[in-house]
Chain A
Amino acid sequence: MTDITARQIPDRLQSPVLKAFKSWETLLLAVAIAIFITNSFLSPYFLNAWNLSDATFNFTEKAMIAFAMALLIVAGEIDLSVASIIALASTAMGWALQFDVGVVPLVLIGLGTGLVCGAFNGFLVTGLGLPSIVVTIGTMSLFRGISYIILGDQGFRGYPSEFSYFGQGYVWWVISFEFVLFAVLALLYYMLLHRTNFGRAVYAIGNNPTGALFSGIRVARVKFILFLLTGLMAGVAAICLTARLGSTRPTIALGWELEIVTMVVLGGVNILGGSGTIPGVVIAAFVMGLVTFGLGLLNVPGIVMSIFIGCLLIGVIALPRLWSMWRA
């Protein structure tokens, strides 16, 4: 019992580069490249700058929300109401059209609606201590329900032409405004999750909320901010989507919550919280976009693609487990 001697403990066992090489993200990247190559062989229209640019619209809006959702899921919560927040934010903007407001107020209304919805979810979860999955199933009906009350079977049209830039504008050549926004947000969320104290708190909470609380982390405050961010991103996506479609109907973005959660999980974020990265989600966004686009070029209908997405969601979790079971 006396042979305990202090010794130098190395910082790391393996270099971060080696660790990154063996990661889920690398595997996913390989999948993305394989899909890209397959697609370019299968369809002559695939390797066309404008076609590829069009393809990015398949995922940019969803990915914006997926970034915030990734943080929320890493922290052990979930928000299934995001697509409904899009509907409500879009409805709010459409409703404001009758007052002849300009582009800036429209944008503020979109973002504001998102924030309010996020704050409402955040309050129910952190303020009242309710489970986020049921709360957001409830607000999912509530938010879209309000859109239905306002719109019925009607729709809003006639957005100002400058507004359409957010969904149809190009910054340079084939690079769309949405794609630039997607890239900027990816970078911002990368910094937030991987490079700040806040991000570290998110991981700690997701791994062990009690332990995080006992370590002096203001768990409720962090979670509330995450719901706010997710609501805000849904507001941003609502602006882009509304501008792209040029109209608002209550069915806008129906079912997107599932695709967004799929994107996050495919990106390697543990649905039970505690781990996951933004680069993973970015690659997952590309994978889903490429698959959708490639199958679209082959005239495969959207609903069949959803089978593929569903299998992907289960497969990415099931395969590693099957593999380890088979080896054991």
Chain B
Amino acid sequence: MIRLLKSREALLVAVIIALTALIASRFPAFIAPANLVNVFTDTSPLIILAIGQAIVILTRCIDLSVASNLALTGMVCAMVNVAYPDLPIPVIIGMALMLGAALGAINGILVWKLTIPPIVVTLGTLTIYRGIIFVISDGAWVNAHEMSASFTGFPRAEILGLPVLAWLAILTAATFFVVIARTPLGRSFYAVGGNPNASVYAGINVGRTQFWAFVLSGMLAGLTGYLWVARYSVAYVDIAKGFELEVVAACVIGGIAIAGGAGTVMGAILGAIFLGIIKNALPVVGISPFWQLAISGAAIVIAVAFNARAGRAKGRIILKKAEAQAQGATAS
């Protein structure tokens, strides 16, 4: 059983390959390199957000405000670009990261200092952040012709055949592999979610760790905000509305336990890729895109059921013969 849990990511890779092969067997164009690049690029925002969300869920929280954070940061970036077209892109990105982190920090403070349940906090900020977009933009759109060429061009610029957007997803993934595996903060995400009581004994501040999870999630949402607005060359109140659910779906499919403490960033990324392939394959296969919502919903339900089955407690092992059996199973 432990081997099975460990191969959770392997299983997902297998499912993704099988799915792709199935599509390719009927529609070979789908696996043309250019199309695969397209699919990956298209999925990149979801990947970046899923990494942040995975960290938040690891600490037994949930961040439903990511899509609103994305939209608000995106709008601010677009408006700044309109007002100061000469501002260099790194400054815009820095601003997006900081603003996103600040919005995440608001969630984090409310969860940490006031111990308000994360779902309530982020349900609240979900509506508040999106409302603020309307207030600052007066409901108006920022359109492509108002944005500077460098602003919209950056995520699409290609390096080694891959757009910057895709590279940023890869860079984010690489960064967070290190953060999760090699920093005390990264390890404490697991500790806090897996056993909050024990974390206190180990000298880890549970609330502060959750706070940092929200800050990171917000920061990545902010980054995605700029990328999203620039890639689609438009900013308005409703962009990415409801996207938070897709992000949570990617995590759940990727095997992040909603009860916290278990799962990997790799899983979340694979979950995002799985959803991305489905989304991009539907038009190719000739299924109406209106199926997408129901499919991702079904995928969440199935994934949750699967996770629960794998993680179900079997009762305490007291009998010697049962212990011997369990150890035999582990060894094999």
Contact = CB atoms under 8 A, between A and B. Distances in A.
Interface string B114-131: 111101110111111011
Contacts of B114: 317-318, 321-322, 325
B258 interface: yes
Interface stretch (A27-35, A122-130, A235-243): A122-130
Given A130-B308, A149-B294, A271-B120, A303 B131 contact: yes
A313 B120 contact: yes
A293 B54 CA distance: 39
B177 interface: no
Contacts of A146: 294
Interface string B180-213: 0000000000000000000000000000000000
Interface stretch (A17-25, A62-70, A136-144, A162-170): A136-144
B216 interface: no
A138 B304 contact: yes
Contacts of B295: 145
Contacts of B125: 310, 314
Interface in A291-312: 301, 303-304, 306-307, 309-311
Contacts of B237: 303
Interface of A is mostly: helix
A37 B297 CA distance: 45
Contact of B110 (A261, A309, A314): A314
Contacts of A258: 123, 126-127
Given A304-B131, A314-B116, A145 B308 contact: no
B128 A307 contact: yes
A262 interface: yes
Interface in B68-91: none
Contacts of A145: 290-298
Interface residues of B, number: 45
Interface size class of chain A, counting residues whose CB lies under 8 Å from the partner chain = 35 or more
- Interface-centre pick from A130, A139, A141, A309 (highest chain B CB count, 10 A): A141
Contact of A142 (B248, B298, B305): B298
29 contacts: A124-B301, A124-B305, A128-B308, A130-B304, A131-B259, A133-B62, A133-B119, A134-B300, A134-B304, A135-B304, A137-B300, A141-B300, A142-B297, A142-B298, A145-B295, A145-B297, A148-B290, A149-B288, A152-B288, A250-B290, A258-B126, A258-B127, A271-B117, A271-B119, A303-B130, A313-B120, A317-B120, A318-B116, A321-B115
Interface of B: 62, 110, 114-117, 119-121, 123-128, 130-132, 134-135, 139, 237, 245, 248-249, 252, 258-259, 288, 290-301, 304-305, 308, 312
